[in-house]
Amino acid sequence: MKTSHDVVVLGAGVAGLTTALVLKQRGHGVTIVAQSMPGDESTDYASPRAGAHWRTMAPNDNRLLQDFDKCSYEKFLEFGRTMPTDTGVVIVPGIDYYDNAIPETEDPWFKEMVKNFAFIPTNKLPKGAKVGHSYTTGMVNCTGLGARQLGGVQDAAMFPTRGQTLIVQPTTPIRKTITHIGNGFIHYVIPRSDGTVVLGGTSQPNNFDPNPQQETTQKILQETVLLCPELKSCSVLKISVGFRPSRQGGVRIENQYYGKFKDPCIAIIHASYTMISKIDTAKQTKILVTHAYGHGGFGFQSSWGASAYTADLLERGLHSSKL
């Protein structure tokens, strides 16, 4: 019989919430503690501002990240097929353009995995693009930086990547996602199920400016209209700025053991994308912390795979002789 445990999940972004759900489905007791919860507005709370579509960022030589994205892709397509209203996941065509012809774009690892993959003919690529893909994808209608200050963690490798996006209302419905990635820029068009469209964007490391920049807004509109002419007569409903929780060296998912932890509540208040389990405030002995943060811009497309991996790691740690 499988043993259940009480687990505290710190952070309510897509990584924290998905991990909490995975643990709950496995029979564990789960408590979520976060500075921001769904519905809150904060530049540090990046997940609600995400375009939230599946487009892998895993390189050809990283099997672990590929497994994360593969699991999430299959999960999103299942949601889109079986419960689109409950989950907000919609299945749409995805189109990606790349200015750089590299192995990840010319021979992508996922071409046999996704549905309806095809290379886009050269004569149909936008200016500057050398490679293009089309495939079936899913989009989601929808405080990782806290690890910098979290007591006992204080990960100096964490840094914000500023993103600015627009929510617009087009006069013509948009039924596909479009992404164009070049040297130093990323432009994307991601429709939502309510008819609005997310336009982006920026990727500015170590930029803490929380204010929308008018010049950036105009640039986003100009570039996305080139990708999708149907946006010419759209109206801007909202301009958002959010800080993606990025990390030098990539995402951190690992177990760490703390001894004589005197005041665990302090850690819980300031945490994000980190889980603390088996807290014994009476004995205050050894505590297992399963770190899972630093997802940067790939939180949604890796969410289900990364959360399952994190839950596996936590359960192995709980059954370890170290506790």
Q: Quote the pLDDT of residue 107.
A: 97
Interval 103-126: pLDDT, tens = 999 999 999 999 999 999 999 999
Tokens for 59? 């390189």
Q: Quote the pLDDT of residue 9.
A: 86
Write out the DSSP string of 65-132: HHHHHHHHHHHHHHHHHH-HHHH-EEEEEEEEEESS--HHHHS-TTTTTSEEEEEPPGGGSPTT--EE
pTM of the predicted protein model: 0.74
Domain boundaries, the chain: 6-41+250-318, 47-247
pLDDT at 296 exceeding the cut of 70: no
Q: Quote the pLDDT of residue 270.
A: 26
Among 40-54, 83-97, 146-160, 264-278, the minimum mean pLDDT is found in 264-278
Interval 302-323: pLDDT, tens = 888 888 888 888 888 877 644 4
Interval 65-97: pLDDT, tens = 899 999 999 999 999 999 888 887 889 899 999
Token look-up 């164009």 returns: 180
Interval 16-25: pLDDT, tens = 888 899 999 9
Write out the DSSP string of 124-184: GSPTT--EEEEEEEEEE---GGGGGT-TTT--TTEEEEEEEEEEEE-SS---SEEEEEETT
Cβ atoms of 72 and 304 within 8 Å: the answer is yes
Non-local (6+) Cβ contacts of 87 within 8 A are 79, 80, 140
Q: Quote the pLDDT of residue 292.
A: 80
Among 48-52, 93-97, 139-143, 285-289, the minimum mean pLDDT is found in 139-143
pLDDT at 154 exceeding the cut of 70: no
Query: Would you call 315 helix, strand, or coil by DSSP?
Result: helix
Return the sign of the alpha-carbon dihedral for residues 143, 6, 258, 311.
negative
Among 50-64, 145-159, 262-276, 280-294, the minimum mean pLDDT is found in 262-276
Phi then psi dihedrals of residue 201, to 5 deg: -170, -165
Q: Quote the pLDDT of residue 86.
A: 82
What whole-number distance in Å separates Cα of residue 11 and Cα of residue 268? Answer: 9
Q: Label residue 209 by pLDDT band (50, 70, 90).
A: confident
Choose between 136 and 204: higher pLDDT: 136
Q: Label residue 204 by pLDDT band (50, 70, 90).
A: confident
pLDDT at 136 exceeding the cut of 90: yes
Q: Quote the pLDDT of residue 141.
A: 55
Tokens for 322? 């170290």
Q: Please state the CATH superfamily assignment of the domain spanning residues 47-247 in this structure.
A: D-Amino Acid Oxidase, subunit A, domain 2 (3.30.9.10)
The neighbour count for residue 16, using CB atoms within 10 Å, is 29
Task: Give CA separation, 134 vs 92, 98, 110, 168, 184, in Å.
Answer: 11, 12, 12, 24, 22
What whole-number distance in Å separates Cα of residue 51 and Cα of residue 53? Answer: 6
Please tell me which of 50-59, 97-106, 194-203 the model is most confident about, judged by mean pLDDT: 97-106
Q: What is the mean pLDDT of the chain?
A: 80
Q: Quote the pLDDT of residue 224.
A: 94
Q: Label residue 2 by pLDDT band (50, 70, 90).
A: low
- Does domain 6-41+250-318 bear CATH number 3.90.25.10? no
Task: Average the pLDDT over 37-53 and give the result.
Answer: 72
Burial label for 68, CB within 10 Å (0-12, 13-18, 19+), is buried
Interval 262-295: pLDDT, tens = 433 322 322 344 444 544 445 555 677 788 877 7
